[in-house]
Amino acid sequence: MAQISLLEKFKQAAGVICRQGLIQFPVTDTAVTIIERVVGNSEDELDLIYAFREKPSQTIDQLVTSSGFSEEIIVRLTDSLAKKGLVFNQPSSSGIMVYRLLPLMMVGLMEYKFMGVLTGSEAEKELARLFEQLLEELRDQTQNHYDTLAPLFAAAPAVDRTVPAEKTADGKAIRVIPIETPLNSSEEFVLPSQTVEAIINKFEDIAVGHCFCRQRRKLLGDTCKTNAPVLNCFSFGKSARHTSAQGFAKKITREEALKILKEAEQAGLIHKAFHPGSRESNPETSICNCCKDCCDTLRIWRDGTLPMINSTYHLSVIDIDVCTGCGTCMDWCPTDAIVLNEDGVANRDESACLGCGVCARFCPESAISLKEGLRKVFILPPRLRSA
């Protein structure tokens, strides 16, 4: 590699990382500063990151060619970058070690940096502020190019999948209305697991870390309004092996996982499952348990940064003859999909309903059921500026 300054190497590395994942970030001074804070003055690590510029996933033989480093040096550098949240280094299903450069977020550097045990140090707070600034810059990009980006957003796959709550606050099963017509598809469709228990029971390797959203908000001085528990960010299989190996999470048993998930559900958190490449035919890699106010996915939608794109197999149904108009469901709904109509009865907007079942869980009259049916929920971010 030609001799260039350390600053230029930071910019090159940031440029490669900003192109990874579902979200393409502009290479701003903020993005470069984040890489500076995370990587430090390791020029070899920056050079290795740059070696991923044409192919984000590589075997060690491929990295030897693309980077010019020896196998021994590559193993040392990727081990270090993995612990910093920038490289995923786990063997494939065939046993071949694959090194993948991670994105800035969803799921990548931001999530992993705030998933482990934090100390509340000034360095952690600075990194939290830098990511907040990065998201503000992304919001500016969205708002400045709203009309151009809107159709691109609409064509994007679902980021995550909502898995519904199963029981009401007093322990009764939430009523589920079965689908009335079969799925109309020319291809065979395998329905992904619809309960968190079914997902947990699939995996031998399970790890739990701290909610990176609630931890980052706390560093920024924002207290969770629901006082939600924090140790409930799950990863499974290969992802569990990775997060536990890097110290982002700890391995737990199925019984421990189910206990934590029950506590999350009791707190009114929303179960959101993630699949590799947003393909629901692939086994889940993780489950987030999200609160309404801290969840980054919900926040950046409300703030005008990115759309809400979610897959769900349920839709809330309100029995207007039983509803008393207490407004409890309105308070709990994460997307504000429920309002009281002119008759004082709860009315649900189908296009904004995630089918999470939190409204049904806390309805004091048991007036809400969940109707089956595969849907994609797509909601554009609010337009904050005139064209």
Q: Is the pLDDT of residue 19 over 80?
A: yes
Work out the average pLDDT over 26-37. 96
Work out the average pLDDT over 186-190. 50
What's the confidence (pLDDT) of residue 180?
Answer: 67
What's the confidence (pLDDT) of residue 240?
Answer: 97
Report pLDDT digits (tens) over 152-168: 999 999 999 999 999 99
More confident: 178 or 387: 178
The SS3 of residue 5 is: coil
Residue 1's pLDDT band, with cuts at 50, 70 and 90, is: very low
Q: Among 146, 177, 200, where does a domain finish?
A: 146
What's the confidence (pLDDT) of residue 285?
Answer: 95
Report pLDDT digits (tens) over 222-281: 989 989 999 999 999 999 999 999 999 999 999 999 999 999 999 999 999 999 877 787
Edge-to-edge strands, sheet with 286-290: 176-177, 368-379, 308-318, 160-163, 270-274, 286-290, 233-236, 206-209, 250-252
49 and 190 assigned to the same domain:
no
Lowest mean pLDDT among 72-81, 142-151, 188-197: 188-197
132 and 161 assigned to the same domain:
no
56 and 191 assigned to the same domain:
no
283 and 331 assigned to the same domain:
yes
What's the confidence (pLDDT) of residue 182?
Answer: 54
Q: Is the pLDDT of residue 141 over 70?
A: yes
Work out the average pLDDT over 108-134. 97
What's the confidence (pLDDT) of residue 282?
Answer: 86
Report pLDDT digits (tens) over 281-306: 788 999 999 999 999 999 999 999 99
Residues 358-377 as b/e (b if ≥16 CB within 10 A, e otherwise) read: bbbbbbeeebbbbbbbbbeb
Q: Indicate the residue type of 119.
A: T
What's the confidence (pLDDT) of residue 25?
Answer: 92
Structural tokens at position 48: 């290795």
Q: Among 116, 146, 176, where does a domain finish?
A: 146
Q: Which residues pair with 221 in a beta bridge?
A: none
What's the confidence (pLDDT) of residue 198?
Answer: 93
**Domain assignment of residue 297, yes or no:** yes
Q: Can you spell out the DSSP letters for 322-349? A: T-----HHHHH-TT--EEE-TTS-EEE-
Residues 213-245 as b/e (b if ≥16 CB within 10 A, e otherwise) read: bbbbbbbeeeebeeebbbbbbbbbbbbbbbbbb
166 and 121 assigned to the same domain:
no
Residue 143's pLDDT band, with cuts at 50, 70 and 90, is: very high
Lowest mean pLDDT among 35-44, 178-187, 243-252, 304-313: 178-187
First to last CA, the chain: 45
The CA distances from residue 160 to 163, 189, 297, in Å, are: 10, 18, 10
288 and 164 assigned to the same domain:
yes
**CATH code for the domain of 26:** 1.10.10.10
Q: What is the pTM of this model?
A: 0.92
Q: Among 112, 146, 180, where does a domain finish?
A: 146
Work out the average pLDDT over 173-194. 70
166 and 293 assigned to the same domain:
yes
94 and 185 assigned to the same domain:
no
What's the confidence (pLDDT) of residue 280?
Answer: 81
Report pLDDT digits (tens) over 193-209: 789 999 999 999 999 99
Q: Is the pLDDT of residue 94 over 90?
A: no
Q: Indicate the residue type of 245.
A: A
Domain containing residue 125: 6-146
174 and 309 assigned to the same domain:
yes
94 and 209 assigned to the same domain:
no
Q: Structural domain tally of the chain?
A: 2
129 and 223 assigned to the same domain:
no
152 and 86 assigned to the same domain:
no
If you average pLDDT over every residue of the chain, what do you get? 93
**Domain assignment of residue 81, yes or no:** yes
